[in-house]
Chains A and B, each alone.
Chain A
């Protein structure tokens, strides 16, 4: 059993690890993920007693505090009970020493053995990591990257250690070798405590049961790997997973704004967090258990921004919405997908207060929304399919964007103007005076929609409801507007409720997806999950139709359809790498 309590490691003045708590049972495997500089490798080296800096706290291994034992005792553990596989850099192996001697050394430092036994043991080890015995006499430079990695693994396994630490073990390998090595890892890690240091989420998923996310020397979230990947709960974890190019992620990659800063007061992530509150920049959040997940966040992880509970609504005894429940989290995109008439627009209009629900409730940031006052509209804004609906043809660009600010009576006139220009800059529109004086009919469709978005964003809302925001635009403009929305989300932490009938479009922009049929939500889940394993027959049909549209593309269809199809083509490539993207409906 390995238990780490309050581990701090620093090099001179810089503290790399700032209090790590981690507990691993026998046979448990954990992935340590995080961007470079988060302290993952330092954590591994601290456990091995190989850091040159100063280490404090406790590392309990089988009841012994490793930080208190003598260097000689530690050396006896190293390589015998605690082993580490290093990243396969060019010089991870001694360049002037033969492979067999290097492996033999790993055994000999811990067990005296006769020459013959050693030779046999080395050969056995080589075999067990999938290397031919004629490699035994080779020198490191004569081996390929994958083979060197295998040698490193063989050395780490030489004494059958109880704890195995893998440090970015496949970072410099090509995809095929990587797959082979992964297979090997899977067989070696399941009988011991393993820590896999990686930034490769898919590897973490393939190898480990648990996952810990490190940020600036602290653990911000620990949970079961599978759940962490499909449902990240700490804002940083979500950012990390969003930015990771996986074969199963369907959404476009998104970064995390800003850079990791060391030595901040309060939550290490607060400068980049889009849901930070006052307390975040003065008090460090401790890891605590929230719904079977350990999360270090003052707000208990990503907060639900909008909760809809059991909403019902009918027009003239014809029920339009029945028992609709939805949760939209801070900073995420939830796609509300369904055909026209399924009630999705009604739902968004109810949220905006344009209709009144018959039953059920709507909560914004945990508070029941009864009346929609100025403070509600400061937080929730909407853009429509037809921008003309939100942009009055009698107002010029500047007035349009300033209008909500005027209504909210925010600041002085100059401040409002500045805010309006800033909003226009965000949507990548010019803010020279000529443009500001233009009227909607002087603008292109894409520009009008941008103006509408700028107007919605002028108040820096937390939630943007986008009802088919691009369906009136031609595909290239649509692509630009969507990119823009995603960038804004990344920058401002905007949550978006994306209402659309186009499942292919939803796939590219959303984190989660809710499928609506006849006034009911029939399926919700992470977008890639919903698309790759649709549960409800209706979802399946939607996916099939979209896929069929993509086949249509091959025969040359209208531009708009080919845009949608294009999205699916990429999807097909995701699944069938390297081959011609033949789309099989069963794939979905």
Chain B
């Protein structure tokens, strides 16, 4: 089946916290030609279990294979697919942006509009902490780019299902 279509999907994968489990998951994606847009891992409330949040691309056939192949790994406990489900998604970005005297005010104005924070101030750079979904982070980066971004680091998406109201 074809791996080319570019729909994004967020998968939440609960795994046994064993050494090598990240390599198993990463190896599965590379070995089978699946795509990883971003991946984040951390312990859950149960220390023996970690949660991986994986953003991947592909059509529904590819997505079905990805989920089945993940489930086949012995250390994978559960795979949750947020495609078509109500979920909350957030990503954290740290951005080191040029803040010369002439554009400092503009940077601060953006920070204010996007409700993010400056967490480190230097003579030439401000470091901005920004949380939001993909759209918000993209929009902020677009606007701030002309001022000159020195460095950027992003966590990749995190997601949880929404509670029914």
The yes or no verdict on A and B being binding partners is no
